[in-house]
């Protein structure tokens, strides 16, 4: 049961800036089920942030249902270069987002549903939530062989991962969210979650790869809507709350004041790439120029997504040394990003005298440098 | 220890003086130390070991992933201290106290234990600012503050930003009425206090009206208060500015721009401007837009401007040349690689359309589409961004009429196109009509290009655009 108009009442009465003694009347006593009308991963993550920061959950709990258009979501302390094929993401226009909870990297598309369980810090209980999901699935399709592992994954047929979990704990509130594969594109999933970058050394949280399967493959009659409804029903029954789902617009400032700022922050380069823990790259590649093959060795330290230290080892005199040192000097301090490197390199070229030969060599070197990013 | 030394001193007579000196020095050192110590003892609070609290689910260890503060920073209650991770859960640890961070017990990626100390915080009840500031700037005041706290019996809650604001305006926090949670002092409270002091017109916040002024004002030395009361009422509100200058290093793309623009300015520029009547071109484009759309290409004015420029360069090839470093040789470039200045998130980038001399207007339009979509996706390659021989900048899409564009080395000329305006102009019969006018501003390298050449090129370019049918005659 989906209900549109009372969203404003619901949320304005029950949340807004932690006023515990506001004496609100919650139309949904004890709990609330909301579903996002947006498929934008940043907007939806912003809703999670908003609820985490502004809602008073002392006497109630919230279930948030959402789906995203194609996106790769990495955990709070992960390294996107280590986790996914950024080149492919850019080519296919798949978004990259960093969530605030821990854990590993996942691929979202409209065939995947996301569930977020909000409670007070004291009532944080991941196992209970996952058992609820399994119960809902079994109620919907009793023949499904699904169970929860002690790593908080949900497995289908004892071998395929259909759900991964992550959580965020704050001072007074906490949330646990998980994915559920209904009919996601497994081909894209496996190709984007494979990193082509070599020579990376980092302390970032690594992901644990797993074989996945869609529930749709097990039972083609299942759709995302069915799963969402089933889980909402089970949640409402278990926590004895109103089973109606309230729709929420993550761009609506009147219901969620300050949400657009949160969305902006989640989209920013500083958050998505800049929060990558310090890492280093040590790699070599071959360049073919005219009739010769050259070995190039590159060493870089990247901190906050920016190149802190850069070292490029080229065969002597292949490029005028002044040119090469200019490149290294400019790269130091710039973002570890192919676009930044390209624009930087072409702009720099204008300041240095060059002939056609140096020009094409420079372009070749820069193209290869870009491939590392 | 001092006493011990003195005794020793007195027993040896002949070197007594020396020892006395030494003694004195050390005595001096000690008392100085004590003096310092005494002052800071007034300000130094207790050092509390803030332990890592229970995470839940029986978790005993976590990994420290990010510190939000460092040793020496001041924190307020509820400020975030660090981010720890345990088994897919990311936890934000917040401070329970106001004070100064004295020690971090773990470094990044180390394992921290629940129940064990995470950080040491020096709880400074008087102020939230670093002790060095206290000693240097306001020791007497803070002494009173300390007494205040004892009298008042509770902490003055305020964030470091609010404390700074108070300090900048010489306000004692104890005199400000806090309207936040737990009587926390908010920025608005400071502003209200200031307004009251100087009698400025500020709408009083309702809460401030209800709560009477603090009774302990008698214990405050009368001087500051009296001073406040005798200040004549000024006409203007005091400017409370708590912003700070922010300095950032210039990195990456901007560093490269600094270099390239500095090189560009070595070129002696001259400018030449004109206006172009685009009435006929606009009509032509309207006709052709639908046809181009059928072929899947968005047709703007730029392809016409670019093609017309190339036709002009065929007549005046010096504008498509490059001057070498020593200014000994001029190279006339065979290809017309016309660059289009684009404004992106990064800043200014100039991809170019290669070999315009061999392209039809449609082909130019299609290539522009490709470059524009790559540009907005941030995926332009080095090949697209280099090799330009002549540039056009359509700043008019953002606004402006005349401009003074800077030549992009190694090129020798550039044109900036202003916005299209509807203006009254006279036609051949002397009648006023609605003309669609666009201004163009050219800059050229005066070392090899003279004004006459630029003017003739501009006239030719202008004539192609004002009378598009004439382009047909010269198209190759």
- d(CA A352, CA A324) in angstroms, rounded, equals 11
Tens-digit pLDDT profile for residues A322-362:
888 888 888 998 999 988 888 888 888 887 766 778 888 88
- Which residues in chain A have Cβ-Cβ distances shorter than 8 Å to B383? 363, 367
Q: What is the torsional sign of CA B288, B290, B295, B301? A: positive
Pairing of strands A165-169, B89-94: parallel
**Angle in degrees, 0-180, between the axes of helices B187-198 and B160-168, rounded to the nearest 10:** 20
ipTM comes to 0.82
**A253 and A297 together in one domain:** no
> What residue in B sits closest to A336 (Cα-Cα)?
B252
Kindly give, in sequence order, each residue whose CB lies less than 8 Å from that of residue B111, ignoring residues fewer than 6 positions away: B61, B62, B63, B64
- Which residues in chain A have Cβ-Cβ distances shorter than 8 Å to B267? none
The CATH number of residue A152's host domain is 3.30.930.10
Task: Point out which residues pair with B113 in neighbouring strands.
Answer: B61
> Of the candidates B354, B382, B386, which has an alpha carbon nearest to the alpha carbon of residue B368?
B354
Could you tell me what percent of chain A has a pLDDT over 90? 62
Structural contact between residues A337 and A373, judged by C-beta atoms closer than 8 angstroms: yes
Output the pLDDT for position A11.
54
Contact B90 A126 (CB under 8 A): no
- d(CA B167, CA A99) in angstroms, rounded, equals 38
- d(CA A312, CA B118) in angstroms, rounded, equals 41
- CATH fit for domain B268-473, picks 3.30.360.10, 3.30.559.10, 3.30.1490.70, 3.40.190.80: 3.30.559.10
Structural contact between residues A93 and B377, judged by C-beta atoms closer than 8 angstroms: yes
B385 to chain A, minimum CA–CA distance in Å? 6
> Of the candidates B296, B468, B310, which has an alpha carbon nearest to the alpha carbon of residue B366?
B296
Contact A351 B256 (CB under 8 A): yes
Output the pLDDT for position B197.
57
Mean pLDDT computed over A26-33:
69
Backbone angles phi, psi at B430, to 5 degrees: 80, 10
Q: What is the torsional sign of CA B51, B56, B61, B67? A: negative
Contact A90 B256 (CB under 8 A): no
Alpha helices in chain A (DSSP H): 7-14, 41-54, 80-83, 86-92, 126-140, 186-192, 215-218, 224-239, 259-267, 269-272, 321-331, 338-351, 356-371
In a domain, A138, yes or no: yes
**A315 and A243 together in one domain:** no
- Which residues in chain B have Cβ-Cβ distances shorter than 8 Å to A88? none
What part of A 261-300 touches B (C-beta under 8 Å)?
277
Tens-digit pLDDT profile for residues A179-222:
999 999 999 999 999 999 989 999 888 898 899 999 999 999 99
Contact B83 A77 (CB under 8 A): yes
In a domain, A342, yes or no: yes
In a domain, A34, yes or no: yes
> Of the candidates A287, A313, A370, A368, which has an alpha carbon nearest to the alpha carbon of residue A336?
A370
**A285 and A355 together in one domain:** yes
For chain B, residues with pLDDT lower than 70 are 1-44, 125-157, 168, 170, 175, 177, 181-182, 192-238
- d(CA B457, CA A72) in angstroms, rounded, equals 52
Tokens standing for B455?
């003017």
> Of the candidates A109, A239, A99, which has an alpha carbon nearest to the alpha carbon of residue A180?
A109
Highest mean pLDDT of the ranges A19-23, A312-316, B132-136: A312-316
The CATH number of residue A299's host domain is 3.30.390.50
**A307 and A178 together in one domain:** no
CB contacts < 8 Å between A and B, how many?
157
Task: Point out which residues pair with B99 in neighbouring strands.
Answer: B75
Output the pLDDT for position B31.
42
Element (H, E) at B74: strand B74-75
Looking at A273, A291, A323, which one is the last position of a domain?
A273
Structural contact between residues A266 and A74, judged by C-beta atoms closer than 8 angstroms: no
Active-site amino acid positions of B: 446, 450
**A264 and A286 together in one domain:** no
- Which residues in chain A have Cβ-Cβ distances shorter than 8 Å to B65? 76-77, 205, 277
- Which residues in chain B have Cβ-Cβ distances shorter than 8 Å to A347? 253, 256-257, 259-260, 349
Contact B260 A171 (CB under 8 A): no
Q: What is the torsional sign of CA B154, B158, B160, B163? A: negative
Looking at A243, A273, A303, which one is the last position of a domain?
A273
A294 to chain B, minimum CA–CA distance in Å? 20
Tens-digit pLDDT profile for residues A106-133:
999 999 999 999 999 888 889 999 999 9
Pairing of strands B348-349, B342-343: antiparallel
In a domain, A23, yes or no: no
The CB-based long-range contact list for A52-55 (8 Å cut-off, 24+ gap) reads A52/A100, A52/A118, A52/A168, A52/A170, A52/A173, A52/A175, A53/A170, A54/A15, A54/A16, A54/A17, A54/A18, A54/A258, A55/A14, A55/A15, A55/A18, A55/A118, A55/A173
First CA to last CA distance, chain A: 46
Output the pLDDT for position B237.
67
- d(CA B243, CA B409) in angstroms, rounded, equals 40
Output the pLDDT for position B131.
37
Looking at A273, A298, A329, which one is the last position of a domain?
A273
Angle at A308 between CA A302 and CA A312, to 5 degrees: 90
pLDDT-wise least confident of A8-17, A267-276, A360-369, B248-257: A8-17
Output the pLDDT for position B221.
42
Whether residue A290 is predicted with pLDDT greater than 50 in this model: the reply is yes
What is the DSSP secondary-structure string of A32-95?
EEEEES---HHHHHHHHHHHHHH---SS-EEEEEE--SSEEEE-TT--HHHHS-HHHHHHHT-E
**A210 and A105 together in one domain:** yes
- d(CA B372, CA A122) in angstroms, rounded, equals 52
Task: Count how many domains chain A has.
Answer: 2
Q: Does A167 touch chain B (CB under 8 A)?
A: yes
- d(CA A234, CA A243) in angstroms, rounded, equals 9
A5 to chain B, minimum CA–CA distance in Å? 33
Same fold for the domain at B46-123 and the one at B268-473? no
Tens-digit pLDDT profile for residues A69-90:
999 999 999 999 999 999 999 9
**A210 and A296 together in one domain:** no
Kindly give, in sequence order, each residue whose CB lies less than 8 Å from that of residue A64, ignoring residues fewer than 6 positions away: A34, A35, A36, A47, A48, A51, A115, A116, A118, A177
The whole model's pTM is what? 0.73
**A38 and A115 together in one domain:** yes
- d(CA A55, CA A175) in angstroms, rounded, equals 12
Kindly give, in sequence order, each residue whose CB lies less than 8 Å from that of residue A299, ignoring residues fewer than 6 positions away: A280, A281, A282, A309, A310, A311, A313
Kindly give, in sequence order, each residue whose CB lies less than 8 Å from that of residue A230, ignoring residues fewer than 6 positions away: A136, A137, A139, A140
Of A226 and B234, the structure prediction assigns the larger pLDDT to: A226
In a domain, A230, yes or no: yes
**A198 and A87 together in one domain:** yes
What residues does each domain of chain B span?
46-123, 160-194, 268-473
Count CA atoms closer than 13 A to A151's CA, side-chain side.
Answer: 12
Mean pLDDT computed over A258-281:
94
- Which residues in chain A have Cβ-Cβ distances shorter than 8 Å to B255? 329-330, 333-334, 344
- d(CA B79, CA B77) in angstroms, rounded, equals 6
A124 to chain B, minimum CA–CA distance in Å? 7
CATH superfamily to which B160-194 belongs:
E3-binding domain (4.10.320.10)
Nearest by CB to A102, from B90, B324, B387: name it. B90
Grouping H, G, I as helix, E, B as strand and the rest as coil, residue A351 is helix
**A195 and A222 together in one domain:** yes
Residue A191's domain comprises: 30-273
Contact A168 B260 (CB under 8 A): no
CATH architecture assigned to B46-123: Beta Barrel (2.40)
**A325 and A249 together in one domain:** no
């Amino acid at each position: 049961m989906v209900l549109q108009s009372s969203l404003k009442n619901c949320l304005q009465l029950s949340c807004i800036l932690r006023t515990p003694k506001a004496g609100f009347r919650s139309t949904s006593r004890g709990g609330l089920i909301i579903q996002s009308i947006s498929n934008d991963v940043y907007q939806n993550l912003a809703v999670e942030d908003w609820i985490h920061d502004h809602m008073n959950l002392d006497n109630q709990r919230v279930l948030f249902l959402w789906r995203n258009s194609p996106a790769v979501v990495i955990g709070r302390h992960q390294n996107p270069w280590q986790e996914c094929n950024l080149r492919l993401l850019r080519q296919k226009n798949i978004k990259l987002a960093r969530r605030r909870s821990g854990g590993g990297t996942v691929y979202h598309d409209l065939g995947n549903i996301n569930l977020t369980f909000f409670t007070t810090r004291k009532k944080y209980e991941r196992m209970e939530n996952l058992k609820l999901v399994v119960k809902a699935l079994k109620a919907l399709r009793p023949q499904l062989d699904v169970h929860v592992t002690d790593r908080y994954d949900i497995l289908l047929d004892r071998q395929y991962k259909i759900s991964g979990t992550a959580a965020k704990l704050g001072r007074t509130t906490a949330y646990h969210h998980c994915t559920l594969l209904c009919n996601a594109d497994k081909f894209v999933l496996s190709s984007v979650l494979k990193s082509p970058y070599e020579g990376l050394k980092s302390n970032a949280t690594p992901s644990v790869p797993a074989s996945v399967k869609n529930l749709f493959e097990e039972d083609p009659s299942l759709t995302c809507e069915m799963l969402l409804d089933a889980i909402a029903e089970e949640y409402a029954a278990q926590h004895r709350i109103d089973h109606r789902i309230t729709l929420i617009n993550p761009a609506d400032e009147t219901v969620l004041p300050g949400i657009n700022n949160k969305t902006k922050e989640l989209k920013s380069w500083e958050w998505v790439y800049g929060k990558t823990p310090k890492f280093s790259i040590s790699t070599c590649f071959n360049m073919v120029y005219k009739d010769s093959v050259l070995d190039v060795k590159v060493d870089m330290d990247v901190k906050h997504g920016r190149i802190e230290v850069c070292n490029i080892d080229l065969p002597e005199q292949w490029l005028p040394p002044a040119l090469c040192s200019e490149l290294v000097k400019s790269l130091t301090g710039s973002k570890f990003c192919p676009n930044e490197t390209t624009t930087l390199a072409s702009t720099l070229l204008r300041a240095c005298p060059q002939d056609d030969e140096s020009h094409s060599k420079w372009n070749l070197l820069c193209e290869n440098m870009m491939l590392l990013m | 220890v001092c006493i011990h030394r003195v005794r020793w001193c007195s027993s040896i007579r002949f070197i007594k003086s020396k020892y006395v000196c030494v003694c004195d020095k050390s005595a001096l050192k000690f008392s100085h130390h004590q003096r310092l110590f005494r002052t800071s003892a007034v300000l130094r609070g207790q050092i509390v070991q803030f332990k890592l609290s229970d995470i839940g689910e029986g978790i005993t260890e976590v990994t420290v992933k990010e510190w939000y503060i460092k040793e020496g920073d001041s924190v307020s209650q509820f400020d975030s201290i660090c981010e720890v991770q345990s088994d897919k859960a990311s936890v934000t640890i917040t401070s329970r106290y106001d004070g100064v961070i004295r020690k971090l017990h773990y470094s990044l990626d180390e394992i921290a234990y629940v129940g064990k100390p995470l950080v040491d915080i020096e709880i400074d009840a008087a102020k939230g600012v670093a002790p060095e500031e206290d000693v240097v700037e306001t020791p007497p005041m803070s002494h009173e503050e300390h007494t205040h706290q004892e009298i008042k019996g509770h902490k003055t809650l305020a964030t470091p930003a609010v404390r700074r604001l108070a300090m900048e305006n010489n306000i004692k926090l104890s005199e400000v009425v806090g309207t936040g949670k737990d009587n926390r002092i908010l920025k608005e409270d400071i502003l209200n206090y200031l307004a009251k002091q100087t009698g400025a017109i500020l709408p009083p916040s309702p809460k401030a009206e209800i709560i009477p002024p603090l009774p302990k004002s008698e214990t405050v030395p009368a001087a500051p208060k009296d001073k406040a009361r005798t200040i004549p009422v000024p006409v203007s509100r005091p400017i409370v500015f708590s912003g700070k200058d922010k300095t950032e290093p210039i990195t990456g793309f901007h560093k490269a721009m600094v270099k390239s623009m500095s090189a560009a300015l070595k070129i002696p520029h001259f400018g030449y401007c004109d206006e172009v009547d685009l009435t006929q071109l606009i009509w032509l484009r309207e006709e052709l837009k639908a046809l181009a759309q059928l072929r899947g290409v968005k047709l703007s004015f730029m392809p016409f401007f670019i093609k017309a420029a190339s036709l002009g360069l065929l007549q005046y090839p010096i504008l498509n040349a490059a001057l070498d470093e020593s200014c000994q040789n001029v190279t006339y470039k065979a290809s017309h690689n016309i660059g289009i200045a684009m404004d992106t998130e990064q800043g200014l980038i100039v991809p170019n359309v290669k070999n315009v001399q061999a392209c039809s207007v449609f082909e130019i339009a299609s290539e522009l589409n490709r470059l524009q979509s790559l540009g907005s996706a941030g995926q332009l390659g080095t090949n697209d961004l280099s090799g330009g021989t002549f540039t056009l900048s359509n700043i008019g899409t953002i606004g402006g009429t005349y401009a003074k564009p800077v030549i992009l080395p190694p090129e020798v000329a550039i044109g900036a196109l202003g916005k299209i305006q509807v203006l009254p102009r006279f036609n051949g019969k002397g009648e006023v009509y609605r003309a669609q006018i666009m201004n163009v501003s050219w800059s050229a390298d005066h070392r090899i290009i003279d004004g006459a050449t630029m003017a003739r090129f501009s006239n030719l370019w202008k004539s192609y655009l004002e009378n598009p049918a004439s382009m047909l005659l010269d198209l190759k």
